[in-house]
Amino acid sequence: MPAFAGLDVGTTSSKAVVYADDGTVLGTGRAAMPWDVGPQGTQTDADVLWRSALTALRDAATAAQVPVAAVGITSMGESGVLTDAHERPVAPVIAWHDDRDGDEVARLVADIGADAFGGVAGKPARGQFSLTKHRWLRTHEPAARSATKRFDVGGWVVRRLGVDPVIELSLAGRTGWLDVARRDWWDDALAWSGATRALMPPLVAAGDPVGRITADEAGPLLRGALLTLAGHDHQAAALGARATAPGYELDSSGTAEALVRTVSHMPGRGQTARLAAAGITTDPSIEPDHWTLLGGTEGGLAQSRALEMLGVSGGPGGGLAALDAAAEHAPHGRVIVGGLGTDALTLGGIAGGVGPGEVWKAVVAAAADEAMALHRAMDDVVGPAVGVVVTGGWRHSAEVMRAKRARFPALRVSSLDEAGTLGAATLAARATGALGRDDHLVGP
């Protein structure tokens, strides 16, 4: 019985799951992803990244106690590892959500223009993508100017596992250096940030075999396993949750909420710029010959802050169920919510008689409205979605789900806890030929 592993190298942790060929979970592993928070911002070390990924993967294989035939690796985007000619890191790994590059973003808008950047790179001009952080590093970390190779997070992990340098297309899209329609590097953006084509590894498609694990550190159950890159973590989650079919959308409802839609035709440059202006990115998809639209909100973070303020925990026995019940029949419209997507959530209209349930209802509604605005912006360009699949921790809140059902058509709630690892393992199984191009590890 062949076994396939999915590894998801994320912002808070690395998660790995080994699956049987029928989708049964054989073993799991998880390791924290530590970040240093200092005066300059949030960053980590390339070896810390590698150790987190390796620990999760090795622990999952040990728990499964079967040889792994293939491993698919998905990861967070935007962050990168700069190395010298001997592949020794020469600069810190800046977190994708770090905002130290505000001056560089302003310069990008002045030099290239928000519409041009949105139309070619498929990205809003904001401090998230690799090119502005790369320019910051070259200015503030002199050693960064000596770099001869740049790896994305997934590419760094497969390189440490013994594979030649590569970068997968959907993760290349998260850099801001890719012309997403041409699926090739955008020379003007590279030059603007001080990067070159020579700095970039060869581009590969998600699901393509890229080599086999040769690193001794991986252990005997993983050594020799076929490796493939499964692309951006939100896209892998959409694949695992069966939300990449035409007209479907993934709502990954966690601390950072993401709406992910897979489309068969690349929007035109004007449409891509329009999507970017609405906060929606366009990237090559991990599904062959497709593209992916992704809109993110911080509604989940706002909900977490509201629970903290109300003294409620989202865990079992933490009071969320009682708060959800109080919100169900609470009036709506008196509490005013602001500051979603900023460091300071604001609440107004807290008059006499306003209770915790009414406050919770208002915050949840505001978060749902923010997600709905992104959903409609996608509809306006690529047509209406026929269904939305919800994953993530907030699916366990009755009030959050009531708000979503009131707004989204044909809502389906996924039971998956690790959709990203399942999507990555599905691509691993496809890479071996055990699954066809459109097949999945588990049944409908």
Q: Look at residue 53 in the predicted model and tell me its pLDDT.
A: 98
- Nearest of 170, 176, 158 to residue 239 by alpha carbon: 170
Architecture of the domain delimited by 242-415: 2-Layer Sandwich (3.30)
Residue with tokens 């130290």: 100
Domain 3-241+419-432 has CATH 3.20.10.10: no
Q: Look at residue 256 in the predicted model and tell me its pLDDT.
A: 82
Q: Look at residue 162 in the predicted model and tell me its pLDDT.
A: 97
Domain boundaries, the chain: 3-241+419-432, 242-415
- Nearest of 59, 79, 68 to residue 16 by alpha carbon: 59
Residue ranges of the chain whose pLDDT lies below 50? 443-444
> What is the per-residue DSSP string for 351-382?
-TT--HHHHHHHHHHHHHHHHHHHHHHHHHHH
Distances (CA, A) of 104 to 59, 278, 338: 40, 21, 28
Q: Is 3-241+419-432's fold the same as 242-415's? A: yes
How far apart (Å, rounded) are the C-alpha atoms in residues 286 and 309?
A: 39
Q: pLDDT for 259-310, tens place per residue?
A: 999 999 999 999 999 999 999 999 999 999 999 999 999 899 899 999 999 9
Angle between helices 102-111 and 130-140 (to 10 degrees): 110
Q: Look at residue 316 in the predicted model and tell me its pLDDT.
A: 67
Q: pLDDT for 195-229, tens place per residue?
A: 999 999 999 999 999 999 999 999 999 999 999 99
How many helices (H) and strands (E) in the chain? 14, 23
How far apart (Å, rounded) are the C-alpha atoms in residues 310 and 327?
A: 13
Q: Look at residue 444 in the predicted model and tell me its pLDDT.
A: 43
User: 6 and 442 in contact (C-beta within 8 Å)?
Assistant: no
pTM of structure = 0.94
How far apart (Å, rounded) are the C-alpha atoms in residues 323 and 314?
A: 10
Nearest 5°: CA angle at 230, between 229 and 236? 165
Contacts of 214 (CB under 8 A, 6+ apart): 161, 162, 223, 224
Q: Look at residue 417 in the predicted model and tell me its pLDDT.
A: 87
**Phi/psi at 376 (nearest 5 deg)?**
-70, -35
